[in-house]
Amino acid sequence: MRVLVSQSNHKFALLIEKALTEHPSRDSIQILPVDAELLQQNFSDFNLLILDDSVDILALLQQIKNQNSIQSPAIIYFYNSTNSQAGQAALHAGINYALPKIDGILDNFADLAKRAILINQNNEKVSILCRQLEEADKAAFIGRISAGLAHDFNNILHLIGGHAQAALELENTEVKNASLDIIRDCCDQGKNISDQLANLLKPKSFDYCNLPISSIIDSALHLMQYELTRSKIIVEKNYTAHLRVMCNEEQIIQMFLNLLLNACDSLHASGGKLLISVKEENETALIEFADTGPGIDENLHSKIFDPMFTTKNNEQKSPAIGGAGLGLFISKNIVQQHKGQINVKNRDGGGTIFSIALPLAKQTLPFPKTPVPEIPSGTRKNLEILVVEDEAMIRSVLNNLLTMEGHKVTLVDNGELALQKVIDYDYDLILSDLNMPNMSGLDFLKQAKGIKEDLKIVMITGDHFSEDLDEAVEAGAYSKLLKPFNKKELDEILLQVNTASD
């Protein structure tokens, strides 16, 4: 075993060390004081941590999560026998064992330590398998809604094409401008769909954020709009409270999508209503999805969340053509990871109610953001801007957006020529594409910063998940613009540069 012991009582730490030395497979034991340096440790070096209630356990768990190690260590937590609440809180946070400091507690402790490590390793394997199931479930969902996404984008393209043609042919300026406004709105609508899809597809993170639960439900409803309409489902919402929960947004939206898919399968034959409510109950956010479908046999309620169990008939003409029996199993696993509960019951008058209870987030004051001061238009500086972009049409769009604001723009189509410009001229701002042939945007950034360290370089890309983008930020990129971006996002960066230059 590779063990880290950190106890406020050094004598107790030595007793733990002595108890562990009886274990025949002991490799190493390190004793550290409880101080700020404890949280700076690389915890992937250990397979067991033995701590006590003087350690900020939540901060330590967050640090372990941030280190993204393949195998997290098992944790045994000792608490003062008069402070049982600390032990309960530790177990609730996910600690393997919480033990009171009482006489005889270290008897056979080496065996307990070995068992803790073994259980933790098995739990990690189960977690990995569950995450793989979640990814497979997500891929299946994307396949199912692809027709709806194509429908939405075709509608947007139809509107853009029609109003663009009208704007070219119309002479009336007011009507022409109205068509252009619709085109701009369509672009914003397409961007919104793209952003929500990107959020669903982005690589799985394990961060938990304080988020409004109703907004996550609305995002899931937006992605499912086509399926709900096709299934003739009328959605009614009743959010009696704006509640926030600490959650992983990707997982929670996936859980809601599974419940919405279930409703579509239940109501696809004749349509019906889906009532979604949010209310506060016993310090939880209680979310209910109540449909007016045929309901589920009460004898099956105890099995409904089992893996590979499905009530869907493969013979029925459902959009899903039956089910694999994993959606509700995955949903229950997600809810349990969030220390919540999910239940099913039949609805009076027919139908099914799925209820999810998630612990409420602790009320916290929003972190104060430093506002970017508004600069009067008459005092704004016209910036010298270099645009590095290999696509001619995108260069043209950026040139038009920047020059119409009075900025002086230089256009180049590759990183090599851009580097020469950096040597010859001083620019207030550089906008560079990330994915370019020959010299990539990342290589250009690194070489340009080597020439002039204080350059403000904004990376532009349509690949929201690019590892190069993350590396560019670490290498000193001033900011980033994710395509498709709008003029407001570009203007915010220009304002920041203008402010910084004063």
**pLDDT tens digits along 78-111:** 988 888 888 888 887 778 888 998 888 888 888 8
10 Å CB burial of residue 146 (0-12, 13-18, 19+) is: exposed
10 Å CB burial of residue 112 (0-12, 13-18, 19+) is: middle
pLDDT at 366 over 60: no
Is residue 14 within 8 Å of residue 58, measured between CB atoms? no
Pairwise CA distance, residues 464 & 409, whole Å: 26
pLDDT at 411 over 90: yes
pLDDT at 204 over 60: no
Q: What is the pTM of this model?
A: 0.55
**pLDDT tens digits along 36-70:** 677 778 887 888 888 888 888 888 888 887 776 66
Is residue 159 within 8 Å of residue 189, measured between CB atoms? no
Residue type at position 447? Q
DSSP tag of 403? H
Pairwise CA distance, residues 339 & 355, whole Å: 14
In 3D space, the residue among 434, 462, 466, 485 whose CA is nearest the CA of residue 203 turns out to be 466
Pairwise CA distance, residues 197 & 182, whole Å: 23
CATH annotation of 207-366: 3.30.565.10
Q: In angstroms, what is the C-alpha Rg of the chain?
A: 28
Pairwise CA distance, residues 226 & 436, whole Å: 36
**pLDDT tens digits along 220-248:** 898 888 888 888 899 999 998 789 999 88
* CB half-sphere exposure, 238, CA atoms < 13 A: 11
Pairwise CA distance, residues 1 & 32, whole Å: 16
Residue by residue, DSSP assigns 193-204 as HHHHHHHHHSPP
Which pLDDT score is estimated for 443?
Answer: 94
- Please compute the mean of the pLDDT values over residues 200-204 and round it to a whole number: 61
Q: How far is CA 479 from the centre of its chain?
A: 20
Q: Which residue has the higher pLDDT, 391 or 373?
A: 391
pLDDT at 164 over 80: yes
Q: Across the strands, what pairs with 25?
A: none
Which pLDDT score is estimated for 314?
Answer: 43
Residue 363 three-state SS: coil
Pairwise CA distance, residues 228 & 220, whole Å: 11
Q: How far is CA 465 from the centre of its chain?
A: 12
Which pLDDT score is estimated for 72?
Answer: 81
Pairwise CA distance, residues 387 & 444, whole Å: 12
Residue type at position 367? F
CATH superfamily, domain 377-501, is: Response regulator (3.40.50.2300)
pLDDT at 127 over 80: no
| Buried b / exposed e along 281-307 (16+ C-beta atoms within 10 A) | eeebbbbbbbbbbbbbeeeeeeebbee
In 3D space, the residue among 316, 313, 340, 342 whose CA is nearest the CA of residue 325 turns out to be 313
Positive or negative, the CA dihedral 486, 491, 496, 501 is: positive
Average pLDDT value for the chain? 82
pLDDT at 296 over 70: yes
Which pLDDT score is estimated for 170?
Answer: 75
Q: Across the strands, what pairs with 257?
A: none
Chain region(s) in the chain for CATH 3.30.565.10: 207-366
pLDDT at 321 over 70: no
**For the sheet containing 284-291, what is the strand order?**
233-239, 272-281, 284-291, 352-359, 341-346
Chain region(s) in the chain for CATH 3.40.50.2300: 2-107, 377-501
Pairwise CA distance, residues 455 & 420, whole Å: 14
Residues sharing a CB contact under 8 Å with residue 93, sequence separation 6 or more, in sequence order: 57, 58, 61
Which class is 2-107 in CATH? Answer: alpha beta
Pairwise CA distance, residues 50 & 99, whole Å: 11
